[in-house]
């Protein structure tokens, strides 16, 4: 590009990001758990093109890592906590089902 990093970064906006860790009893395929998947899809729909949702299991610990970023911190925190609650309910150490 032969342009400075400052010039290349001019079009980028920094968005808030949150990371939540949920201790899990087992690392089941969460895409097959409807309650978890519904919360993830609701967050993705709400954030649209201006945010993202990334969920994965830790490779070294019994944790689900839930990362969201978007324009409004309150919105991403709301969705992140809702997703975390479903993980705790369905796969958490004190799981209910």
Q: In what order do the strands lie in the sheet with 17-23?
A: 17-23, 63-69, 52-57
Q: How many whole angstroms separate alpha carbon 79 and alpha carbon 60?
A: 25
Of residues 52 and 9, more confidently modeled:
52
How far CA 91 is from CA of 7, 25, 33, 36, 94, in Å, comes to 46, 6, 10, 10, 8
Q: How many whole angstroms separate alpha carbon 88 and alpha carbon 74?
A: 21
Closest CA to 84 of 39, 51, 49: 39
Tens digit of each residue's pLDDT (9 = 90 or more) over 26-75: 999 999 999 999 999 999 999 999 999 999 999 999 999 999 999 999 99
Q: What three-state secondary structure class fits 51?
A: coil
The reported pTM is 0.86
Of residues 84 and 14, more confidently modeled:
84
Inform me whether the pLDDT recorded for 95 exceeds 70.
no
Inform me whether the pLDDT recorded for 97 exceeds 80.
no
How far CA 64 is from CA of 9, 25, 31, 37, 52, in Å, comes to 32, 10, 13, 14, 17
Report the Cα 57 to chain-centroid distance in Å: 11
């Amino acid at each position: 590009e032969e342009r400075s990093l400052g010039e290349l970064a001019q079009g980028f906006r920094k968005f808030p990001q949150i990371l939540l860790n949920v201790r899990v009893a087992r690392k089941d395929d969460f895409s097959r758990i409807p309650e978890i998947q519904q919360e993830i899809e609701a967050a993705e729909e709400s954030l649209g093109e201006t945010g993202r949702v990334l969920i994965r299991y830790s490779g070294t610990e019994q944790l689900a890592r839930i990362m969201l970023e978007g324009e409004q911190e309150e919105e991403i925190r709301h969705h992140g906590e809702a997703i975390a609650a479903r993980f705790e309910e369905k796969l958490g150490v004190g799981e209910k089902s």
